């Protein structure tokens, strides 16, 4: 008798066993690709990222860098003979260079600088890179006394902290040109402003970048596109200081500069569009003005590490381009021509999170994830339709795992609007049995759940829970009007959308126990979890994560609070105090009867921990069932890129709370 191995469900700790592959880069010759593979060292609880090379003709991959640090952002030299990449092996992210034939990597930048986003010059002699500098920082050496006494932080700007970087301390993001031969750095532009999204012109004579050079950047929240002439040092502004733009790329013939962005028509809910600037006529036009879709990847997930927005990828003849598009719970690849013809070249029930295209052969390497396949890289020939899988980074481990496969659902909300979502049966599902259901709510709110792998969902499904996750109004992927409907109405129709999802699930699936319902979410999903338990007692357990509970205090303490509150809620602390309180879950805390677990990172500057503290103390003062878990040194990205052990702890707290109360 043949022995059949009994499969098990996914656990929180299985994050240690999964690998992520990302940022594929096809070589200039089109026969090879380099990519980043990330894993977690289980004993040291640290991320390890190394570069791998794959032969696209033979489907053979080999490891290129080693060690227990992070090696990321690989970029081929124009002739394909060298590879630039970023490594933290010296303690900070530095720019390294190595031969494409192998050998030891050479550091090009100094250890006191933190470098990112390398871009080769067309002649291969220089590399453009991003660095962060304070006014007194030097390029050539460390000019600080590590033993100096502490000094107060003097704040004069409204945006003085960042969830990603902490206190800015007057630092500006700069672009520097690195000489490949000597390692000498030369800044472009002025240290007075931030510079981002650097892109060389094909002739190497100019650099395009984005910046906010208005008189008062705190009050004028924009990102303009500029072109700087390296010969004359003159710069030209291409956009009108009325929107956000980025992801710059030149056509190979230099006739056109492309970028993504929008003119803030719907503030933070505005779809990203494709823009083209023609150099000869100095004409700026919106290529996708009439499209009711979001350009780029708007998917929210908790596993794939190091995703990179590839922007617009031009073809060799400068007559067309490829790009990623978000729609209806999926992302895929589209082709567009300068004549205005567009067509999908890869759009399936999946999440395309990585893209690199060889401009001459129209072949590509894609990173793809689906709910029951965490991630892998695939080769595609857009001309012939040939496609094949290049990596199998999790196949061996997944042979012992039973993954839940979601079912896509659609229903009509209270006002008749069609809403899209998914439901997962528990792992080991048996007909005739009743199961608890957990409603998951994504953050943003302008993001999208999708046909992608989500570790938290799989863990809950393996613990005997059905999982319901949806894209209520405010989500990307369903049109500009849909994504804008939540603004000024937090806790209104978005709340009834979510309740209609639960109603639909209970009416449609007889295996759900209506008396064992749970709800959880993070960021905006945490706000909505707080709102839900203050407005209904139908849920028997809730977990709120990195949440907002009080829009009044949020206004002054978040790194985005002063403008995000105005854009999303429609009011400010000075003129609209009552409106902010009306939309604050804390106002309704006396109504809460649902046991509520509160999870929050200590260094979350996006939704600061005081939001959790207020909610927790108010609930305890009222003798409600609650618990607060604070994660040291964790920011808003805890669930996605936080310390591995804390990510595991977070997942287990969620699982255990629902197991206890459901």
Indicate which residues carry an active-site annotation: 523, 636
Residues 6 or more apart in contact with residue 6 via CB below 8 angstroms? none
Contact criterion met (CB below 8 Å) for 367 and 355: yes
User: Using CA of residue 247, residue 248, residue 251, residue 256, what is the dihedral sign?
Assistant: positive
By residue count, the chain amounts to 662
CA–CA dist 499, 414 (Å, integer)? 9
CB atoms within 10 A of CB 533: 26
Distances (CA, A) of 522 to 175, 517, 543: 34, 18, 9
Choose among 516, 544, 517: nearest CA to 528.
544
DSSP annotation string for 482-506: HHHTTTT-TTTHHHHHHHHHHHHHH
Choose among 323, 378, 327: nearest CA to 348.
327
Q: Which residues pair with 314 in a beta bridge?
A: 321
CA–CA dist 144, 137 (Å, integer)? 8
Distances (CA, A) of 284 to 154, 258, 324, 445: 41, 10, 21, 30
Q: And the tokens for 357?
A: 């295209």
**Helix (H) or strand (E) run with residue 115 in it:** strand 115-120
What is the DSSP secondary structure assignment for residue 452, as one 8-state letter?
Answer: S
Give Dmax (Cα) for the chain.
Answer: 80
CA 129 remoteness from chain centre: 21
């Amino acid at each position: 008798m043949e022995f059949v191995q009994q499969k098990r469900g996914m656990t929180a700790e299985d994050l240690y066993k999964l690998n992520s592959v990302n940022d594929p880069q096809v070589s200039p010759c089109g026969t090879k690709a380099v990519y980043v593979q990330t894993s977690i060292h289980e004993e040291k609880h640290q991320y390890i990222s190394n570069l791998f090379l794959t032969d696209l003709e033979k489907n053979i991959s080999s490891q290129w860098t080693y060690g227990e640090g992070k090696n990321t952002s690989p970029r081929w030299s124009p002739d394909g003979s060298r590879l630039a990449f970023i490594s933290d092996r010296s303690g900070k992210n530095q720019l390294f260079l190595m031969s494409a034939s192998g050998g030891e990597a050479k550091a090009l930048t100094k250890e006191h600088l933190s470098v990112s986003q390398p871009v080769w010059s067309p002649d291969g002699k220089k590399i453009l890179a991003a660095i962060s500098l304070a006014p007194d920082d030097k390029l050539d050496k460390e000019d600080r006394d590590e033993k100096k006494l502490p000094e107060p932080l003097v704040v004069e700007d409204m945006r003085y902290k960042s969830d990603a970087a902490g206190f800015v301390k007057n630092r500006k993001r700069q672009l520097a040109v690195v000489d490949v031969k000597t390692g000498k750095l030369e800044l472009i532009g002025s240290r007075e402003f931030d510079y981002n999204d650097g892109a060389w012109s094909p002739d190497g004579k100019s650099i395009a970048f984005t910046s906010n050079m208005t008189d008062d950047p705190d009050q004028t929240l924009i990102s303009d596109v500029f072109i700087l002439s390296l010969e004359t040092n003159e710069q030209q502004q291409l956009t009108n200081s009325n929107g956000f733009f980025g992801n710059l790329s030149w056509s190979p013939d230099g006739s056109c500069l492309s970028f993504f962005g929008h003119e803030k028509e719907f503030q933070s809910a505005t779809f990203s569009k494709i823009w083209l600037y023609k150099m000869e006529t100095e004409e700026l036009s919106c290529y996708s003005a009439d499209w009711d879709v979001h350009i780029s990847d708007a998917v929210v997930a908790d596993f794939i590490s190091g995703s990179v927005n590839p922007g617009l990828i031009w073809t060799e003849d400068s007559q067309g381009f490829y790009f990623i598009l978000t729609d209806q719970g999926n992302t895929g690849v589209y082709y567009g021509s300068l004549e205005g013809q567009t067509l999908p070249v890869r759009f399936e029930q999946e999440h395309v999170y990585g893209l690199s295209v060889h401009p001459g052969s129209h072949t590509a390497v894609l990173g793809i994830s689906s709910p029951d396949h965490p991630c892998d890289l695939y080769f595609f020939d857009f001309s012939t339709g040939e496609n094949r899988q290049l990596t199998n980074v999790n196949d061996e481990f997944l042979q012992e795992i039973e993954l839940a496969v979601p079912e896509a659902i659609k229903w009509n909300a209270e006002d008749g609007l069609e809403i899209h979502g998914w439901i997962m049966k528990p792992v080991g599902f048996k007909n005739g049995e009743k199961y608890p259901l957990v409603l998951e709510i994504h953050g943003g709110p302008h993001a999208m759940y999708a046909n992608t792998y989500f570790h938290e969902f799989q863990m809950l499904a393996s613990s005997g829970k059905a999982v319901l996750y949806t894209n209520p109004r405010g989500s990307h992927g369903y049109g500009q009007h849909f994504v804008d409907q939540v603004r000024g109405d937090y806790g209104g129709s978005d709340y009834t959308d979510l309740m209609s999802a639960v109603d639909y699930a209970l009416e449609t699936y007889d295996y759900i126990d209506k008396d064992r319902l749970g709800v959880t979410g993070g960021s905006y999903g945490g706000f909505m979890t707080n709102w839900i338990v203050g407005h209904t007692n139908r849920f028997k357990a809730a977990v709120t994560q990195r949440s907002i509970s009080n829009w009044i205090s949020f206004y002054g303490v978040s790194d985005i609070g002063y403008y995000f509150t105005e854009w999303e809620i429609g009011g400010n602390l000075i003129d609209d105090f009552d409106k902010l309180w009306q939309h604050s879950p804390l106002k309704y805390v006396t109504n809460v009867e649902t046991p509520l677990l509160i999870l929050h990172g200590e260094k979350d500057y996006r939704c600061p921990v005081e939001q959790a503290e207020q909610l927790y103390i108010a609930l305890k003062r009222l003798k409600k069932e609650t618990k607060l878990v604070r994660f040291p040194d964790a920011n808003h990205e805890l669930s996605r890129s936080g310390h591995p052990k804390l990510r595991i702890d977070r997942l287990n707290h969620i699982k255990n709370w629902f197991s206890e109360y459901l």
